[in-house]
Structure 1
């Protein structure tokens, strides 16, 4: 595999492939807001140094999200952001969602075992097939999903409409890295190798565009996904978790 960037560099690369609908720099931190859809699109990435001392920066972040009616959230990559994590904890921000960042070379991946279709935008069938945290997508999801440089939306259909898609996933390439998100297999189509097929197809798509490596993020509790990625020779690069700040005050009336 090509040289793997450091923790902050890799997080910044991944952030380019899954953006908020609004983004703003705060020193080396990246503020992101996306209508509340996904932690990544609605959190400050604390990679590097803010423009002030940490307590002042935490207060500024809190105000930024409150102005948008969002609960403040911070994405905290480790190792590297220990000081910021301590400052957030000191300010009363609670910890949740421990995630692993995995990387692998795209070399040697098998060809997909079933046909996989690609589209530059998600259609209604794809959006129905992607269950974020097990729930249907909010209206803002489509805008967040396409807000990257040339993302691709992969789909497997094993039964004709109106049957749902059997599997979906999203890919985007940045600096030779394929970043895979939204891998979802329909409950009635599991244990048939469809997630492996989607990953294989995305790997081939990325290699055709100069891709050499793959990056993805997975919840530490998702044992099924971790087993799949281990078979594809992914290894852990680092971890991150979220910190949640106070709920924004709601005006009465």
Structure 2
């Protein structure tokens, strides 16, 4: 059985596989991801191991990569490493943004979520046209770019399942999960604003957890904005009660 630190780094790698960047390479112990669009995780540099440090050489390489790609330099900082605050402050990076937390489902504690009356839950091995249309609509409703939550799927190579909660044939909530190294990562959970609070997202996530465990996942994890109280409460009710680590971003224009 993994210790906590080993599990955290396995989850980090599984998250990267579940939400793949267009271009990513290793520079001085950091994975430097460039994709374009508005998603920070696939447009930021993340540490590759507990030994990663952000010295002047590493930071210069990261800055050069984003300058060459005509993208802002963003560094993602999980609490798994010592925070290089002074280095980033000196280099003109803005204050931390996008605080998020990583939660895991405690094995054997998954909680079933009842499917609301009149709702049909479908789980498919690939995103259907209806799933894609719903995800695009929900991206726009959240103020994101239309393809911010679709473009990474074209690069997804891990086994995955795509869940949708449909009412009268129209998906009102969606999510997917991807399995890497025995760890299933739940991603892209979203509900139509007019249908929130009715159990649709919970039913999607519960269905994905069941499918992932049946496929052999030893752990299921997800990442969520730290200030999203409703989502945090939902995930904890479903059994995601193991806090692994947090992270935030620092950006330089």
Counterpart residue number, 1:251? none
Counterpart residue number, 2:30? 29
Counterpart residue number, 1:199? 205
Matched, 1:115 2:120: yes
Matched, 1:18 2:19: yes
Partner Cα distance (2:140, 2:211) in 1: 24
1:218-249 residue CA offsets vs partner (Å, 9 max, x unmatched): 1111010011112123232110000102x2xx
Distance 1:105 1:133, change over 3 A: farther
Matched, 1:158 2:167: yes
Counterpart residue number, 1:209? 215
Count of residues in Structure 1 that have an aligned counterpart in Structure 2: 241
Distance 1:241 1:181, change over 3 A: same
Distance 1:72 1:135, change over 3 A: same
Matched, 1:57 2:63: no
**Which 10-residue stretch deviates more, 130-139 or 73-82?**
130-139
2:243 paired residue among 236, 242, 245: 236
Displacement of 1:34:
1.3
Task: Name the TM-score, length of structure 1 as normaliser.
Answer: 0.85
Matched, 1:91 2:62: no
Displacement of 1:3:
5.3
Which ranges of structure 1 fall in alignment gaps of 5 or more residues? 248-253
1:67-112 residue CA offsets vs partner (Å, 9 max, x unmatched): 1111011110104232x34322331212211111111135343265
1:175-234 residue CA offsets vs partner (Å, 9 max, x unmatched): 221101111111222221111101110011101210122111111110100111121232
Matched, 1:69 2:74: no
Does the 8 Å CA contact 2:30/2:46 hold for their aligned counterparts? Answer: yes
Distance 1:155 1:185, change over 3 A: same
1:138 paired residue among 127, 141, 146: 146
Counterpart residue number, 1:167? 173
Q: Secondary structure at 2:20's aligned position in 1?
A: coil
Which ranges of structure 2 fall in alignment gaps of 5 or more residues? none
**Which 10-residue stretch deviates more, 10-19 or 129-138?**
129-138
Distance 1:132 1:78, change over 3 A: farther
